[in-house]
A and B are shown apart, each in its own frame.
Chain A
Amino acid sequence: MLKDRKLIVVVVEAALEQRLSKDILSQGAKGFTITHANGLGPRNQRAGDLEGGNIRLETVVPEETSMKILELLKTSYFPHYACSAWVSDVQILREDRY
C-alpha cells in the first residue's frame, strides 16, 4: 500500500529562504516544510549575520525530482553558501501528494 519516495533535507543560511523555496518548487516539488535551525558545519564559516541563523527545508519528492534538486544545489548553492543536504528513502500513503 505504501509508495517509495525520497526525503530531501536542505540546511542553508536563512537569508536564502525565499530563493530556495522558489527553486525547490520550480524543480517539481509540490510542497515543503521549513523550520529554523542552528548548528555547526565542517568549515564553521557561516555568514555570521546578525539575524537568522539557518533554515532546514524538508521536502518529499519522487526520485527523479530529488536528482534535479540536488543538481541545482550543486551548481547554485554549494559553491558559495553554507549549505548541507542529504537524501533518504521514505514511504508515503497518498501518492498524488508527493
Chain B
Amino acid sequence: MDILSVAVQNLTSAPVLAFALGLLAAAIKTDLRLPEPIYQVISIYLLLGIGIKGGVALSNAEFQEVGLPILGTLLLGLTVPVLAFFLLKFLKKLSVVDRGALAAHYGSTSLVTFTAAVIFYESVSISVEGYLTTLLAILEIPGIIVGLMLASRGLRREVSWGESFREILTGRSIFLLAGGLVIGFLTKSTGFAGIEFFFVALFPGVLTLFLLELGIVAGRRLKDLKKAGIGIVVFGIAFPLISGTLGVMTGQLTGLGIGGAATLGVLSASASYIAAPAAVRLALPEASPGIYLTASLGITFPFNLTLGIPIMLEISKFLESAGL
C-alpha cells in the first residue's frame, strides 16, 4: 500500500471521522458534550484496558526482548523535552517558563494518539508488540519532570516539587496504566480470556466515542490559535516529525518491528494534554495554558491523529528497507 492510500484509510477511519465531527460540533457551536461522568468512565476504561492488554503481552515476552526498548524509551523521555526546549528558543516571544511548559507537554505522551495508532496499524495488518503499553507508561513521566526543571531556570522562586511529584505520580492516568499492567501481568492470557470481549472487541467503538468528545474540546481550542501565533503552529507540526523520527529510530535500534517502531515514533511525537497540563498548572502558574494546551491539543493532537500516524509508519518502513 502506498503512503497516500494509507493516509486516506486513516483519515476515513471511524475514530478520526468522529474526531472531525467533534471539531465541526465545536465550530458551529452545538451544545454537544459527553456528560462529565461518562467522560470519566470512558477514560478509566481506556486506561485500564490498555494497561491490562499491555500487562498480558508483557507476561508473554522475554526480558531480553523488552529490556532494550525500555532503556531506549527512557532515553527518549529525557532527550525529547530538552530538544523541544532548545528548539523553542527560536520563538523569541516565548518566555523560559513557557518553553519549559511546552517541553513538559511534548516530552510526555498522549494515550489516545497511541491507541488510535495501534488500532490503525492493526487494521492495515501491521502488528505491534503488545508490550508497547509499558513504553507508553514509561514515557508519560520523565518528560514532565524534565520540562518543569528546565522551566524552573526561568523562575525567581522555588518550585513546590513535592506537590508536583505527587500530582504526576498519583495522577490517575499513570495509576490506572501501571495498575492495569500489573493486573494483566498477573492474570495472563488465561485470565484475560474472560474479559477480552469487554476490553478488546468493544474498544475501538468506545475510542470513537471518546474522540468525538476530544474533537469538541480541541475545536474550542482552535480559537486560541491566533493568540498563540504562527510560530507555535509551526512548532506543533514540525516538532512531532522530528521527535517522532527519533522515536522510530530508537524503536528500530532497540529491536522493535516495523509496527512497534512506528508506534514508538507516535508515542514520541505525541504531546500530553491530560497529565502534563495538570502538573504544569500547579507547578508553573506563570506559563500560559493558551499556549501549551493550544499547541498540544489544538495542533499536535489533530496532526498526529490524521497525518502523523501514517507518516510514522512510512518512516519506519523506509528505515527498515534502508537497512538501519
Contact = CB atoms under 8 A, between A and B. Distances in A.
Contact of A47 (B40, B277, B286): B277
Contacts of B53: none
A13 B274 contact: no
Contacts, number: 36
Given A19-B163, A80-B286, A50 B273 contact: yes
Nearest to B286: A80
Contacts of A47: 277, 281, 289, 293
A72 to B, nearest CB: 15
B220 interface: yes
Size bracket, chain B contacts: 10 to 19
B217 interface: yes
Contacts of A50: 217, 273-274, 277, 297
A42 interface: no
A52 to B, nearest CB: 8
Size bracket, chain A contacts: 10 to 19
Nearest to A36: B36
Interface of A: 13, 15-16, 19, 45, 47-51, 53, 79-81
Interface of B: 36, 39-40, 163, 217, 220-221, 273-274, 277-278, 281-282, 285-286, 289-290, 293, 297
28 contacts: A13-B281, A15-B278, A15-B282, A16-B282, A19-B163, A45-B290, A47-B281, A47-B289, A47-B293, A48-B290, A48-B293, A49-B277, A49-B278, A49-B281, A49-B289, A49-B293, A50-B217, A50-B273, A50-B274, A50-B277, A50-B297, A51-B36, A51-B40, A51-B274, A53-B36, A80-B285, A80-B286, A81-B285
